[in-house]
Amino acid sequence: MRIFVPGDAAAVAVGADEVAAAVGPQVVRNGSRGIFELEPLLEMETEEGRIGFARLAPEDVAEVLRLGKDHPSCVGLVDELPFLKRQTRLTFARCGITDPQSIEEYRAHGGFKGIERARTLGPAATVEEVVESGLRGRGGAGFPAGIKWRTAAAAPADQKYIVCNADEGDSGTFADRMVMEGDPFMLIEGMAIAGFAVGATIGYIYIRSEYPHAIRAMGRAIETARTHGLLGPQFDMEVRAGAGAYVCGEETSLLESIEGKRGEVRAKPPLPAIEGLFGRPTIINNVLTLAAVPFILAEGAKAYADYGMGRSRGTMPIQLAGNVKNGGLFETAFGITLGELVEEIGGGTLSGRPVRAVQVGGPLGAYFPPSMFHLPFDYEAFAAADGLIGHAGIVVFDDTVDMARMARFAMEFCAAESCGKCTPCRIGSTRGLEVIDRIIAGEDVEANRALVEELCETMKFGSLCALGGFTPYPVLSALRHFPEDFARAPTVETVS
């Protein structure tokens, strides 16, 4: 009987290592199923399927093994849990199911079919397959991945690179981390397909230093793939660890960082697809973008594009986070509404208080009130509502949140993480922080509100990258949707 206890960092952070040790050496350290309230979740293989035991402590293990499904921690068949049952898992099909470090299990669960089909199609047709799938950059920008690939494929060069952006710094996001820890060979396969398609022989995965478990998991899987001859002279890759800089999630600053420089943003053009890493044509894609590629090649572009709405094709691994009852990874086709995600699937707040705001898309994403929960999860719909999907993290706040504080935090975060290259971001964020402080203190509230709005316009249009350019989203949305939080303090005369 196989027993599974996740090795995912979110499970380890609540004691999964100790639970696994109590099971003994035969335990399989799977990825997480992505229902974090249940961690550490022990799964037992039975004839009916895998049965789960939730929130275990090491001292519970002996009793669980003795009593089986009569143990009070039993949650029944894991695949039947409503949170999992409602999902459409294409990218996360294997995560939590298989032993992530077993290349044999990866193959047995459909792995490497994508690269095999790519080889029969040839490079050009592989690129077209990705174009036709409608896959867009999952890191946040939503740029069509296939177009990027076409550009890099057409660029003549003695050396090209594939770079995977695993600098998942947005608060409320953890899907990249789960892929790397829970299904690393899928990412390796996706990168190898990209390399084959555009003629690149070297890949880098840039992983943030806050993810030591992912760095270890990817390193081990790369080593295994190499010994099995799946990586080699035709395409090889290595992990590069970051050093704690949010801005390195921006693609050009990430390239600078791999080159061993300060992670300062580059002006575009030139596009990285033409002049990227070490000045060579480079495909730089997010983990989830590259992780979607093996499915697209294995099952065909149409099978992927059949999911979704409008110009947002396929599925999105959405991350429910913050003050939410059922937090975790929810992969589904585009088009689901924000309200369904937060209220039905998320189950409202963990605190039990009413939802007041959700921030979608990380620290640079807009705050929305429940009156906007009809919004469908779609790149264009969110853009039209002055927001963004970003990396699809949703952070839920209850009615105790002070939105003026959150707007202030957005500026504070931008000031702390700005690379300093462009003025609107470097200086604008610090001035913005000061002006919001004045509003909070009740000084000339109306005039200072107007000033913040004007400053946000400058940052939006004058910044080199999304850090300065999108920080206005949380600030302006907080001002617009929650004006009462900016007018609480009595207005006092400013000292002249």
- Comparing CB distances to other proteins, the nearer of 7 and 146 is 7
What 3 state SS string does the chain have? CCEECCCCHHHHCCCHHHHHHHHCCCCECCCCCCEHHHCCCEEEECCCCEEEECCCCHHHHHHHHHHHHHCCCEEEEHHHCHHHHCCCCCCCCCCCCCCCCCHHHHHHCCCCHHHHHHHHHCHHHHHHHHHHHCCECCCCCCCEHHHHHHHHHHCCCCCCEEEEEECCCCCCCCHHHHHHHHCHHHHHHHHHHHHHHHCCCEEEEEECCCCHHHHHHHHHHHHHHHHCCCCECCEEEEEEECCCCHHHHCHHHHHHHHCCCCCCCCCCCCCCCCCCHHHCCEEEEEHHHHHHHHHHHHHCHHHHHCCEECCEECEEEEEEEECCCCCEEEEEECCCEHHHHHHHHCCCCCCCCCEEEEEECHHHCCEECHHHCCCECCHHHHHHCCCCCCCCEEEEEECCCCHHHHHHHHHHHHHHHCCCCCHHHHHHHHHHHHHHHHHHCCECHHHHHHHHHHHHHHHHHHCCCHHHHHCHHHHHHHHHHCHHHHCCCCCECCCC
Minimum CB–partner distance for residue 36 and other proteins (Å): 4
Minimum CB–partner distance for residue 127 and other proteins (Å): 26
Token reading at 368: 């929305």
Question: Residue 237 and residue 230: Cα distance in Å, rounded?
Answer: 11
- Comparing CB distances to other proteins, the nearer of 134 and 169 is 169
Minimum CB–partner distance for residue 324 and other proteins (Å): 7
Minimum CB–partner distance for residue 209 and other proteins (Å): 5
- Comparing CB distances to other proteins, the nearer of 259 and 306 is 259
Minimum CB–partner distance for residue 32 and other proteins (Å): 10
- Comparing CB distances to other proteins, the nearer of 221 and 395 is 395
- Comparing CB distances to other proteins, the nearer of 308 and 362 is 362
Minimum CB–partner distance for residue 273 and other proteins (Å): 19
- Comparing CB distances to other proteins, the nearer of 193 and 214 is 214
Minimum CB–partner distance for residue 167 and other proteins (Å): 11
Minimum CB–partner distance for residue 353 and other proteins (Å): 11
- Comparing CB distances to other proteins, the nearer of 109 and 213 is 213
- Comparing CB distances to other proteins, the nearer of 117 and 208 is 208
- Comparing CB distances to other proteins, the nearer of 29 and 240 is 240
**Chain residues in the site for other proteins (CB under 8 A):** 9-10, 12-14, 36-37, 39, 168-174, 176-177, 209-213, 215, 240-246, 257-264, 278, 319-324, 327-328, 350, 359, 363, 393, 395-398, 401, 406, 409, 413, 416-417, 419
Minimum CB–partner distance for residue 338 and other proteins (Å): 16
